[in-house]
Amino acid sequence: MARVAFANVDKFYGPVQALSDVSLEIEDGEFVVFVGPSGCGKSTLLRSVAGLESISSGVIAIGDREVTHVAPSDRGVAMVFQSYALYPHMTVRANMEFGMKINGVAAAERSARVAEAARVLQLEDLLERRPAQLSGGQRQRVAIGRAIVKEPQVFLFDEPLSNLDAKLRVQMRVELEALHEQLGATMIYVTHDQVEAMTMADKIVVLNEGRVEQVGPPMDLYNAPASEFVAGFIGAPSMNFLSVALVPGGDGDHVTYGAVRIPLGRTLGLALGHDGPLRLGIRPEHLRLTEAGAGTLDVDVEVTEALGGETYLYSRTGEGDRLVIKADGDTALSPGHKIGLALDPKRLHLFGADGRSLLT
């Protein structure tokens, strides 16, 4: 097991800069998730740990060793891909043994490692099957088994669950978390799915256009997003944003949204209006329903989605902005209803013209 460190890593593909000045520390035994939209550089960063991509500048270390120019096979990492990448003509056992055979691991040791990985992954009854005789979830378990038998210092996962159906994805997510508990290994996991990031990570790294946008434990990113980008990416449905103006006051600042005055419950110490229009962020689950006229602002309900346990209300403000509200499952409101919304100042987020949070 080992820590992983990146210092000032840049990666160019011709004129395309895929990674910009990435500096990051991953602790020994940590489960770290790289998350962000498609094309933000997640796979490039992961593959640079494995040595499958050479970086343009900067330094990568695994454990106490700089590995920037070390061959992939000498880095002590094992990677699991979305596509499984199993040999179709080999049995499960042969697939798991193959890498060890290449590396000259003795037969008895190979058998012991396969037996142990098969036990951990509940593959014992499937060892003599070929990949075509397995379900998607079983194939992915074999791919993970092939990584385990390498006894790597660091496990690297690139969207390993994306090919599985929704129910199996949830099940495998829980299995991977249990595997991490059991092995205590350093794991780096790439996904575009913020739910996977929130549920699995000790530490989330949000990437945006090749840059590290924010690093922290899941609930820190949820409660205190450092930027509008992170705020909009973490949480579902996404945070609502309204363009507002800041009005400082003696007993606490407030923002104005059209004719509506919204107290912030604190003094920010910023100049009037700050530097341009600000963006107020409110999560759908932090909007509380009231009678029209009784809350901070009124909205018209346009669309309702009843999911059973909760109901999403798609509403519109008098200014024409859409606000999504996460309400109780038994909320009985039909399109056309006018409702009031109460806001808890402690739950509000505020972002400057540069997208950075003003409340942290």
In the complex, which residues of this chain contact Mg ion (CB under 5 A)? 43
39 makes contact with ligand ADP (CB under 6 A): yes
Q: Is 13 in the site for ligand ADP (CB under 6 A)?
A: yes
Torsion, Cα 53 5 231 13, to 10 degrees, reads: -20
16 binds ligand ADP (CB under 6 A): yes
By CB under 6 A, is residue 15 in contact with ligand ADP?
A: no
User: Is residue 325 at the binding interface for ligand ADP, with CB under 6 A as the rule?
Assistant: no
Total length of the chain: 360
Closer Cβ to ligand ADP, 43 or 214, answer by number = 43
Is residue 38 close enough to count as binding ligand ADP by CB under 6 A?
Answer: yes
Q: Does 102 bind ligand ADP (CB under 6 A)?
A: no
List helix spans (H) across the chain.
42-50, 92-102, 107-120, 136-148, 166-183, 194-200, 218-223, 228-233
Which CB, 44 or 186, lies closer to ligand ADP?
44
Q: What token pair was written down for 284?
A: 């759908």
Of the candidates 50, 42, 45, 34, the residue with the CA atom closest to the CA atom of residue 10: 45
Residues 43-72 that bind ligand ADP (CB under 6 A): 43-44
Using DSSP, how many helices (H) and how many strands (E) does the chain show?
Answer: 8, 20
Closer Cβ to ligand ADP, 32 or 262, answer by number: 32
Minimum CB separation of residue 42 from ligand ADP in Å reads 3
Q: How many CA atoms lie within 13 A of 186 on its CB side?
A: 18
For residues 353 and 225, give the distance between their C-alpha atoms in angstroms, rounded to a whole number. Answer: 15
Q: Least distance (Å) from Mg ion to the CB of residue 18? A: 10
**What is the nearest approach in angstroms of ligand ADP to the Cβ of residue 43?**
3
The reply on whether position 188 binds ligand ADP by CB under 6 A is no
Smallest distance, Å, CB 357 to ligand ADP?
23
Window contacting ligand ADP (CB under 6 A); options: 34-42, 83-91, 95-103, 325-333: 34-42
CB of 205 to Mg ion, least distance (A): 14
Closest to Mg ion by CB, 200 vs 327, is 200
Stretch that binds ligand ADP, among 31-39, 145-153, 255-263, 346-354 (CB under 6 A): 31-39
Encoded amino acid at 59, one letter: V
121 lies in the binding site for ligand ADP (CB under 6 A): no
Q: 66 — alpha (psi -120 to 50), left (phi > 0) or beta? A: beta
Contact criterion met (CB below 8 Å) for 141 and 135:
no
CA-to-CA distance for 55 and 35, rounded, in angstroms?
Answer: 20
Bridging pattern class, strands 154-158 and 77-81: parallel
Q: Which residue is nearest to Mg ion (CB)?
A: 43
Beta bridge partners of 261: 256
| Cβ proximity to ligand ADP, 191 vs 315, nearer residue | 191
Residues that bind ligand ADP (CB under 6 A): 13, 16, 18, 36, 38-44
